[in-house]
Structure 1
Amino acid sequence: MSLPLILQPGEGRSVQIRTSTCTFKATGQETHGHFGLFEFVMEAGANGASPHIHKELTEMFYVVEGEVELLVGERHIIAEPKAFILVPENTPHGFANVGQTQATLLILFCPADSREQYFEGLAELTKDGRQPSQEELLELMQRFDQYPVLQSE
């Protein structure tokens, strides 16, 4: 039997990825693999994720604060607070904070798998300002159902 999980603001295990913080609010371990919910806080001007797809995951974004530029398929949109975006599997997507203030996204992954391990791995690869190699990034991404896509200009 699962126990309720209650996290107050600022609570939850988190990792630092460059200037962004990813806090794991609920992982597959707590939801029997059904979903994972992460809070992603980006400083002004921070890149979040370069364009990629997931072959098995559906990903959802909810903007809590700030302005987030989202690439979804062929569309580039500026998402403001309370915007919701559902990204089906095999749909190119990425995001960045294009605003002048901090931005916060809630990111929901279904199914959850071990998605937090991707963010933990990325935090480790970029620790202390380190710039990981393309090979290291590709290996990490492919372990967690994430595949880069080239942007068409």
Structure 2
Amino acid sequence: MSDDKNNSGTTVSVVGPGEGELIILGATRMRVLEDGSNTAHRLGLAESIIPPHTPGPPQHRHAQHDEGFYIISGTLRFTVGNTDYDVTAGTLVMVPPGTPHTFANITDRPAVMLSTFTP
């Protein structure tokens, strides 16, 4: 990861392949690309690789931030309240503050998603 000043004097953050903080959550590998420290905590960004047949976290809610999930590859099941959504590559799921949600990979193939956290 590198941080450089551009011509306007602001800091530019560049996170290359294999860089960023790696967090292991059971079988899921999450790579934090932006923890908010470069965006005044307006935006966080993480890439997750979810192996086949991997349950997600318990259903939970975030009081203060929207959470977005963009599916890069594979299929994931999002459970929002009592509703299930099976979503595939190219799909964006946006969960507003206070909304109970979780996700899981119920398929035989790995899935990759990009998550945003705002603010």
TM-score (norm 1): 0.68
1:55 Cα offset (Å): 1.1
Query: What does residue 3 of structure 2 align with?
Result: none
Give the number of the structure whose residues are more often strand, by fraction: 2
1:21 Cα offset (Å): 0.6
Q: Deviations over 1:100-124 (max 9, x none)?
A: 111111111111xxxxxxxxxxxxx
1:5 Cα offset (Å): 1.9
1:8 Cα offset (Å): 3.0
1:10 Cα offset (Å): 2.9
| Residue number among 81, 90, 93 corresponding to 2:98 in the alignment | 90
Identity of paired residues, percent? 27
Query: What does residue 48 of structure 1 align with?
Result: 56
Which structure 1 segments of 5+ residues have no match?
A: 112-153
| Residue number among 75, 81, 98 corresponding to 2:83 in the alignment | 75
1:74 Cα offset (Å): 3.0
Q: Residues 43 and 103 of structure 1 are in contact (CA less than 8 Å); yes or no, is this contact kept in structure 2?
A: yes
Bigger shift: 68-77 or 93-102?
A: 68-77
RMSD across aligned C-alpha pairs, in angstroms? 1.3
> CA separation in 1, counterparts of 2:110 and 2:68?
20
> CA separation in 1, counterparts of 2:54 and 2:44?
23
Query: What does residue 59 of structure 1 align with?
Result: 67
| Residue number among 93, 107, 115 corresponding to 1:99 in the alignment | 107
Could you list the runs of 4 or more consecutive aligned residues of structure 1 that deviate by over 6 angstroms after TM superposition?
A: none
> CA separation in 1, counterparts of 2:25 and 2:101?
19
Which structure 2 segments of 5+ residues have no match?
A: 1-8
Q: Please tell me whether residue 16 in structure 1 is matched to residue 24 in structure 2.
A: yes
1:48 Cα offset (Å): 2.0
1:24 Cα offset (Å): 0.6
TM-score (norm 2): 0.86
Q: Deviations over 1:82-107 (max 9, x none)?
A: 11011111111100011111111111
> CA separation in 1, counterparts of 2:108 and 2:85?
16
Aligned residues: 111
| Residue number among 100, 113, 116 corresponding to 1:108 in the alignment | 116
> CA separation in 2, counterparts of 1:69 and 1:83?
12
- Tell me the secondary structure at the aligned position of residue 5 of structure 1: strand
1:67 Cα offset (Å): 0.7
